[in-house]
Amino acid sequence: MSGTLEDVSDANYKEFTDAPASIVAYGLATCEPCKAYDPVLEETAAKFPNVKVGKAKMHVPGRCREIKRTHSFETYPTTHLFSKGKLLLTREGQIEAAELAALIADHLSP
């Protein structure tokens, strides 16, 4: 896996979420909580190299059209935890680093 925050879009969404352990954070460029969440995601990606961590930029026209058709979002950021294509958990709003680490331990650790 990478250990870095990855860019997620329609083009790589299925491959990304089909990984044994992946996290996708959905956000907007104009969303202050989304911007504040970026360092947490980067830290998480570095701390858990066996978990793919990505960010879907929902504000870019045409980039996440299929993602929007598959999922509905009431709040940004929204975070999904996946394992082998299965959505395990949804959390709305910014998640603190310690809580995200605990969610990984509870839901994505072998």
> Among 8, 40, 11, which residue's Cα sits nearest to residue 24?
8
Tell me the three state secondary structure of residue 19. Answer: coil
pLDDT band for position 3 (50/70/90)? Answer: confident
What is the CATH class of 5-107? alpha beta
Q: Please give the pLDDT value at position 109.
A: 80
Q: pLDDT digits over 64-76, tens only?
A: 999 999 999 999 9
What is the percent of the chain with per-residue pLDDT over 90, rounded to a whole number? 95
